[in-house]
Structure 1
Amino acid sequence: MRACALISFVQNKNSFLESQNSRRSGGEDDASVDDPETVASQVHMSIKNSTARRNLGYLSCGTGNPIDDCWRCDSDWHNNRQRLADCGIGFGRNAIGGRDGKLYVVTDAGDDDPVNPKEGTLRYAVIQDEPLWIIFKRDMVITLKQELIMNSFKTIDGRGANVHIANGACITIQYVTNVIIHGLHIHDCRPTGNAMVRSSPSHYGWRTMADGDAVSIFGSSHVWVDHCSLSNCADGLVDAIMGSTAITVSNNYFTHHNEVMLLGHSDSYLKDKAMQVTIAFNHFGEGLIQRMPRCRHGYFHVVNNDYTHWEMYAIGGSAEPTINSQGNRYLAPTNPFAKEVTKRVETAQTTWKGWNWRSEGDLLLNGAFFTPSGAGASASYSRASSLGAKSSSMVGTITSGAGVLSCRKGSSC
């Protein structure tokens, strides 16, 4: 009963904000609602309540988040771990990771030798040829000497332990398929490289310098990054380039970073025209500046995310991407020069006015505005629509569990 009451409170709060936003756009005068500080404080109170519930292990099975409602209410989740692979949504929904393989338990937080990794380490697990569902015996902080180069059909599942990949190299998904990254704290990633690194039991080779991304997706497909907490890395938090596609980035909590997410290698790299990425149910939180995401060429569905902080812009792009923004909540910063959600990067209006960018059902608060463009070609938006959007009034509830969950054996997450 208490859980239902909490959900009702958040939904009613957001419905109120959405209705007031609609009244303002219709020209109705209400000084208490038009005051940006009042609107901002109301939304921040809702976010604070959601964060408190997350810290208390709050859960209800009726959140409207289709991923969470698929598995989180199962108190026996730790015996049914691989069921998670059947809960995907969006363009990366067919990423099965290590669903059809054995469980592998990481017992050693070390990374002493990137060429000949020790059995029991995370690196030893991710380079194997066979499918594996990788879990952790206990809480650990893993400081990687070099990039963690993953092989195909792997899941890294941090549920049930407090796992940090931090203060060194981070995760590289290169020329592989079917990878799931779930439930990890990934932060303070640093540039590494000019070293030998093993990528499979039969191959190792020379790696040039890596940029220091938290998760780098390079020429890969069927990738799902879910319920991770990412912050403060040298380059991007999630970057997908060089023909990568069929990707979902969901339920993550992004904080304290400049260039958050890059999708598309360069304006001249035309293979990224086939890229399809879903950005869903994430909380873009404190200390963020830009690129949530920054897109090139492909098809991008940005759906039911909570944007509570940016300093420059939220969504940007170049090279004619199709961007379908649906049911998001955009709370603009107090800076009067950063109210626009969108940014066309180094492109003249005469060029970008034909790009298909649209906002549908978004909640725009504290002066936030989305600049649409294009004729709204149905075929383009169809290719950029990966799941049905919920009402923006539900975003606070849908994203209340964004980031790493506190999962313990014998109870629901």
Structure 2
Amino acid sequence: MKPPIEDAPMGFASLNGGTTGGKGGMVVTVSDSEAFKEAIVGNTPTIVQVQGTINLSGMNDVGSNKTILGLGTDAKIVGGGLYLYEEKNVIIRNISFQDADEDAIGITEKTTNVWIDHNTFSNAADGLLDIVRQSSFVTVSWNVFTNHHKTILIGHSDAASADAGHLKVTIHHNWFDATLTRHPSVRHGTVHALNNFYNSNLSYGVASRMEADVVVEGNYFLNTWFPCVTQYADSDPGDIVEYGNIIETNMPPPVSRDPNDPPPPEVPVCATRGTAFDPAAQYPYTADKAENVQALVTNYAGAGKM
């Protein structure tokens, strides 16, 4: 059964006053880059409806109190990305992001209350989605990530200790389709990875670094030989708690292209460390059973599925 299309986020984006985007503001429909860039700036509540393909370059500023919503099944942002710097209350839904020449979406410098929902991301020059520099109260839901290496980065660097206490992110019902790393990679943050489908992620699934607190719950890992890692590259370790996950393989482990990766094990397991946190003490939610996640996510995640 198709899940209902919600009008408000579940998870951390529901806290801190909630995330409503441009609700109650004017509605603008755009179909070219100049109109799009004009509509997304400033703090006036606005619902920006994207029709067709918007060709961009570089990172393009998005103001507070905005909903950026793709119309129909073919709304695209191609060639450039969206940049949220010291903003609040932004929703981005139903858009395919392709071939960004930097990040597809960059959330930075204390930006709060962002909901990234029902989008498809592929092939950026850097990250598909970065959440860094004390940004927080973000939910990433029902998206597809494909054809990429560095997928979701949470926490700018090992040295960014000011991020501790921020970077509160919920990542649920996403499809990580043969992407290599960062699903997500977390430094210093507090992250709930819930009911995602991990498919043939050759390097690793979830990484907790630099005393991050990560809960990995009810996910389905298929042919991902390192579903969870508590340390990566030169970073100090972080905490991971896992429960209710399914980890399966139906093929021999391939050779990773990442020199940081050790040889894969015969039987993959989700590495754990510490105690992390209790998501149910943060916000209400109902987890789907892990055995249902593959079908739910492959059928209903991504742009054009709302």
Q: TM-score range by the shorter chain?
A: 0.7 to 0.9
Higher relative contact order, chain-length normalized (CA < 8 Å, sep 6+): 1
The answer to whether residue 97 in structure 2 is matched with residue 186 in structure 1 is: yes
The residue identity in structure 1 corresponding to 2:228 is: T
Counting matched residue pairs gives 281
1:216 alignment partner in structure 2: 106
Higher-Rg structure is 1
Retained in 2: the 8 A contact 1:301–1:385?
Answer: no
How far apart are residue 346 of structure 1 and its match?
Answer: 3.4
1:302-324 CA distance string (max 9 Å, x none): 00000012111111132110110
After superposition, residues 14-413 of structure 1 pair within 5 angstroms as 60=1, 63=2, 65=3, 69-71=4-6, 84=7, 87-93=8-14, 94-106=18-30, 108-111=31-34, 121-136=35-50, 138-139=51-52, 141-160=53-72, 162-167=74-79, 169-190=80-101, 212-219=102-109, 220-273=111-164, 274-286=166-178, 288-333=179-224, 339-343=225-229, 344-346=231-233, 352=237, 355-366=238-249, 367-374=267-274, 376=275, 380-382=277-279, 386=283, 387-399=285-297, 400-405=299-304, 413=306
How far apart are residue 404 of structure 1 and its match?
Answer: 0.7
The residue identity in structure 2 corresponding to 1:405 is: G
Query: Separation in 2 of the partners of 1:362 and 1:384?
Result: 20
The residue identity in structure 2 corresponding to 1:372 is: T
Retained in 1: the 8 A contact 2:209–2:239?
Answer: no
Retained in 2: the 8 A contact 1:127–1:151?
Answer: yes
Name the Cα RMSD after superposition.
1.9
Query: Separation in 2 of the partners of 1:131 and 1:389?
Result: 32
Query: Separation in 2 of the partners of 1:341 and 1:385?
Result: 24
How far apart are residue 384 of structure 1 and its match?
Answer: 8.2
The residue identity in structure 2 corresponding to 1:123 is: K
Retained in 2: the 8 A contact 1:318–1:346?
Answer: no
Query: Separation in 2 of the partners of 1:161 and 1:332?
Result: 30
Retained in 2: the 8 A contact 1:188–1:234?
Answer: yes
| Bigger strand share | 2
Secondary structure (helix, strand or coil) at the match of 1:144 reads: strand
Retained in 1: the 8 A contact 2:239–2:273?
Answer: yes
Q: 1:133 to 1:403 in 2, by over 3 A?
A: same
1:277-319 CA distance string (max 9 Å, x none): 0000001113x11111000111100000000121111111321
1:67-126 CA distance string (max 9 Å, x none): xx145xxxxxxxxxxxx2xx31110122110012111111x4134xxxxxxxxx111100
1:74 alignment partner in structure 2: none
Query: Separation in 2 of the partners of 1:151 and 1:384?
Result: 31
Length-normalised TM-score, structure 2: 0.86
Length-normalised TM-score, structure 1: 0.65
Query: Separation in 2 of the partners of 1:384 and 1:278?
Result: 13
Query: Separation in 1 of the partners of 2:294 and 2:113?
Result: 28
Query: Separation in 2 of the partners of 1:341 and 1:122?
Result: 39
1:350-386 CA distance string (max 9 Å, x none): x63xx43111000011133101111x26xx3348864
2:257 alignment partner in structure 1: none
1:24 alignment partner in structure 2: none
How far apart are residue 161 of structure 1 and its match?
Answer: 5.1
Query: Separation in 2 of the partners of 1:384 and 1:260?
Result: 28
Query: Separation in 2 of the partners of 1:382 and 1:259?
Result: 26
Q: Unmatched 5+ residue regions in structure 2?
A: 250-266
| Bigger helix share | 1
Retained in 2: the 8 A contact 1:299–1:384?
Answer: no
Q: Unmatched 5+ residue regions in structure 1?
A: 1-59, 72-83, 112-120, 191-211, 334-338, 407-412
The residue identity in structure 1 corresponding to 2:194 is: V
